[in-house]
Amino acid sequence: MVRSVSGTGRSALVIAHEPDGPSGQVGVRLTERGFDLHTHLVTDDYDRPQAFAPWPAFDDFDLIVVMGSIRSLTDKDQISSWIHDEIADIGAAIERDQPVLGVCFGGQLIADATGGSVEVSPTVEVGWYEVEPLDGAPDVIADGPWFEWHHDRFHPPPHADVLGRNESSTQLIRIGRSVGTQFHPEVDVPHVEGFLRDAPPAYLDEIGIVPDQMIEQMREMQADNSRRCHQLVDWFLDEVAFPGE
């Protein structure tokens, strides 16, 4: 595996599937921990889901961070020009023991790539929800709530360690040196503003979201959520991805 080209630390490839899905506070903490971040924007036009930027070589990086998406793994035909390659690349990374951190859609991709499955969730989760920590989970999971925005849920493969869940879905899994979440630890005010700005008003009405209320709640939660996110990233780096280093 190739180390960071700058020579100052490790390198991380952030996969942002759309412009409103950056690494947010996950990226902030990785930078604070000395990682050189390289963001790959997969699609930049919401109306052209098949138009994508060619994939970089995953094995050029020390860590892969896979963010959320407005797309669904239950409708791969809509994104068939790129999704199968991404699934294969994530599966290959995990197979060669390269750390992968997947958030929401990214967590679903980890499950799909390793023999699990993704389905439409019977419960739509948008907003703040508690996550029940299970054996092996970091202490910070119990300090929620955590932000969610998903219509699908994943079922992990049998060899995955399930570390967190709620009544709706599996929320946190570990497979070797990789971790997938269903929740969004990375969010801050600009991130949520991006979600809301790019969401059709009719869709927000349908799921009962009032943008001003959601942004105000994010302002109230931002400091605590950023702290929790950073602690989650620290756990991932120190206990899962690079233990003992």
d(CA 133, CA 87): 27
160-179 in b/e form (b: 16+ CB < 10 A) is: bebbbbbebbbbbbbbbbbb
Please report whether residue 135 resides in a domain. Answer: yes
Please report whether residue 4 resides in a domain. Answer: no
Predicted confidence (pLDDT) at residue 6 exceeds the cutoff of 50:
no
What's the whole-model pTM score? 0.94
Is the link from the previous residue into 145 a cis peptide, with omega within 30 of 0? yes
Domain region containing 81: 11-241
Predicted confidence (pLDDT) at residue 26 exceeds the cutoff of 60:
yes
Q: What is the pLDDT of residue 3?
A: 35
Residue 9: band (very low, low, confident or very high) from pLDDT cuts 50, 70, 90: confident
Please report whether residue 6 resides in a domain. Answer: no
Number of structural domains the chain divides into: 1
DSSP states along 23-64: -HHHHHHHHHTT-EEEEEE----TT-TT--PPPP-GGGSSEE
Please report whether residue 141 resides in a domain. Answer: yes
- Per residue in 126-168, pLDDT tens? 999 999 999 999 999 999 999 999 999 999 999 999 999 999 9
How much of the chain, in percent, has pLDDT values that exceed 70? Answer: 97
Please report whether residue 49 resides in a domain. Answer: yes
Please report whether residue 5 resides in a domain. Answer: no
- Per residue in 37-57, pLDDT tens? 999 999 999 999 999 999 999
Q: What is the CATH number of the domain that holds 94?
A: 3.40.50.880
The owner of tokens 């020579």 is: 7
Please report whether residue 52 resides in a domain. Answer: yes
Q: What is the pLDDT of residue 121?
A: 96
d(CA 153, CA 162): 14
Please report whether residue 123 resides in a domain. Answer: yes
Q: What is the pLDDT of residue 167?
A: 94
